[in-house]
Amino acid sequence: MALTDDAIAKIRSMIQSGELPPGARLPPEPQLAAQMGLSRSGVREAVKVLESARVLDVRRGDGTYVTSLAPRLLLQGLGVAVELLRDDTLLEVMEVRRMLEPMATGLAALRMTDADLDELGQILEDMRAAADDAEKLIQFDTAFHHTVIATTGNETLTSLLDGLSGRTLRARVWRGLIEGNSAHQTIEEHHTIYLALRARDQLLAQASALLHVNTSEAWLRTVLAAKSADG
Amino acid sequence: MALTDDAIAKIRSMIQSGELPPGARLPPEPQLAAQMGLSRSGVREAVKVLESARVLDVRRGDGTYVTSLAPRLLLQGLGVAVELLRDDTLLEVMEVRRMLEPMATGLAALRMTDADLDELGQILEDMRAAADDAEKLIQFDTAFHHTVIATTGNETLTSLLDGLSGRTLRARVWRGLIEGNSAHQTIEEHHTIYLALRARDQLLAQASALLHVNTSEAWLRTVLAAKSADG
DNA sequence: TCGCCGGCAAACGTCCGATGTATCTATAGT
DNA sequence: ACTATAGATACATCGGACGTTTGCCGGCGA
């Protein structure tokens, strides 16, 4: 299984070395195949792998290009990986979020602008208005935390936490919250975080975020326990 | 660009739904192709993508199987992604480590066993003995932090931090350290962390880890500045 | 001169069939 | 019971062919 994997490694090292900078165009597949000493089929598999990793951008009828290599692209794969984790490891993910998200939220308290706060207040309002719609709650919850973290200006951090808070994971937590009649309380936790951020209080923001993650973790445990009891 | 990507999505959803549990064997490629309504070439590209993501394990002459889906496998891709990040985003990675690694080290202080501490002491000794060998320093440095984090028992956390501390990133920092005659001081920072861990002092471990990451970040800035001045 | 439109060429998307090679298995022999 | 060999199975790689999309450019008309 060497040829195709070698091709992947070669292309990757060409990018890493700067020989193929962001935006660069790769030779056409047949030429690339000749250059690397394998058939076009093998090249296609290699390119497909790098495309799925958001390293290459394949434009049909045009050519294959190196992406911007921005963190938001390269770290996107983390999300799909987390979606595939088994149930018992989701608690590990929560423990990571418990460590990272409060720190990030605290940092956001220092860097947030008034405009950011206004946007956040709007999301909070939307969330309250959607208290009966699980789908919308998940959507606004995602937007709330993403907006907070994004204000740190750290795209790597944002992508990482986005990936760790996958849609399936959030959906499970909210299912538990709603069935446990605790949606309202959790919405208020967002309000608490919002107040801390508006006060630019780093420690308070950090603490309220920790409480919030802890609540999510508790409900995840409930949901997982119920599932393992059923199945 | 639908057929192959559809195949990827289908296989992934079959795994996520539990239809293909860890260890399960997939049908042979020709059969899989027929089942999904595309040619074998397309199936191979799909399988290759999932294999590169450590979701599938392809055994030549045998068949294709679902991996254990352990975090250590699925999060492995993070490492290669970080290796491809551009220089200016490496500081973002350092900021994430600055938040996450101290928390994780503090947690390790609570969970470490005596055997873990002995192993760590040995690594520290090795590091001191290798003070002139950059290659070995990097190796022992990696081992030191990996060992600490691994004692948290959180495989997801360990894989994540391993990925964020890619080999290239570490090599750059140590190059700066050595050229700046600061290798010795940094080795002592490891000693400080070690003492805090041995004392099971969470806060002290956290603080010493933060200082250590901060030192790494400072030297990374130096190295990056020198590079951008050269180039 | 500007803008729309159609055709040409380049490049990726998909398919098919064939051959090489590694692995597993079952059978036969000791 | 154990080993060795032969067959079957399944992935690895190849080569070529054809469809489809895209980008580009020249021509036409306002």
Please state the φ and ψ torsions of residue A113, each to the nearest 5 degrees.
-95, 170
Give, in Å, how far the C1' of C21 lies from the CA of B82. 36
Q: Is the pLDDT of residue A137 over 90?
A: yes
Rounded to 5°, the CA angle A23-A24-A27 comes to: 140
Q: How far apart are CA B150 and CA B148, in angstroms?
A: 6
Q: How far apart are CA A13 and CA A6, in angstroms?
A: 10
Which helix H or strand E contains A66, and what residues bound it? strand A63-66
Predicted confidence pLDDT, tens digits, chain B (231 residues): 589 999 999 999 999 999 999 999 999 999 999 999 999 999 999 999 999 999 999 999 999 999 999 999 999 999 999 999 999 999 999 999 999 999 999 999 999 999 999 999 999 999 999 988 999 999 999 999 999 999 999 999 999 999 999 999 999 999 999 999 999 999 999 999 999 999 999 999 999 999 999 999 999 999 999 988 886
- Cβ <8 Å between A78 and B78: yes
Name B25's bridge partners.
B65
Question: What is the distance in angstroms between the CA of the first residue and the CA of the last residue of chain A?
Answer: 39
Which helix H or strand E contains A208, and what residues bound it? helix A202-230
Cα-Cα-Cα-Cα torsion A192, A87, B12, A141, nearest 10 degrees, comes to -10
Chain A CA closest to residue B57: A1
- Cβ <8 Å between B99 and A103: yes
CA neighbor of A20 nearest in space, from A61, A67, A74, A72 = A67
CA neighbor of A163 nearest in space, from B169, B97, B160, B85 = B160
Q: Is the pLDDT of residue A182 over 90?
A: yes
pLDDT of residue B1: 59
pLDDT of residue A131: 86
Residues of A in contact with B17 (CB under 8 A): none
Q: Is the pLDDT of residue A229 over 90?
A: no
For chain D, which bases have at least one atom within 7 A of a protein Cβ? 8-17, 19-23
Q: CB A101: neighbour CB atoms within 10 A?
A: 25
pLDDT band at A227 (very low <50, low <70, confident <90, very high): confident
DSSP-assigned states of every residue in chain B: --HHHHHHHHHHHHHHTTSS-TTPBPPPHHHHHHHHTS-HHHHHHHHHHHHHTTSEEEETTTEEEE----HHHHTHHHHHHHHHS-HHHHHHHHHHHHHHHHHHHHHHHHH--HHHHHHHHHHHHHHHHTTT-HHHHHHHHHHHHHHHHHTT--HHHHHHHHHHT-HHHHHHHHHHHHHTT-HHHHHHHHHHHHHHHHTT-HHHHHHHHHHHHHHHHHHHHHHHHHHHHH-
CA neighbor of B181 nearest in space, from B124, B140, B222 = B222
**CB interface of B with A, residues 36-55, below 8 Å:** 41, 44-45, 48-49, 52-53, 55
pLDDT of residue A92: 98
pLDDT of residue A230: 80
Which helix H or strand E contains A56, and what residues bound it? strand A56-59
| DSSP state at residue A25 | B
| pLDDT tens-place string over residues A95-134 | 999 999 999 999 999 999 999 999 999 999 999 999 889 9
**Cβ(A157)–Cβ(B92) below 8 Å:** yes
Q: What's the full length of chain A, in residues?
A: 231
What value does the mean pLDDT take over residues A78-87?
97
Token duo for residue A160:
């990482």
**Cβ(B208)–Cβ(B196) below 8 Å:** yes
Helices (H), A112-182: 114-129, 134-150, 155-164, 167-179
**CB-count exposure of residue B135 (10 Å: 0-12, 13-18, 19+):** exposed
pLDDT band at A192 (very low <50, low <70, confident <90, very high): very high
- Nearest by CB to B99, from A12, A95, A100: name it: A100
Question: pTM for the complete prediction?
Answer: 0.95
Q: How far apart are CA B75 and CA B82, in angstroms?
A: 12
Determine if strand C comes within 7 Å of the CB of B202: no
pLDDT of residue A231: 67
Q: How far apart are CA B216 and CA B98, in angstroms?
A: 10
pLDDT of residue B231: 67
Is A8 within 8 Å of chain B by CB?
yes
Token duo for residue A132:
């009966």
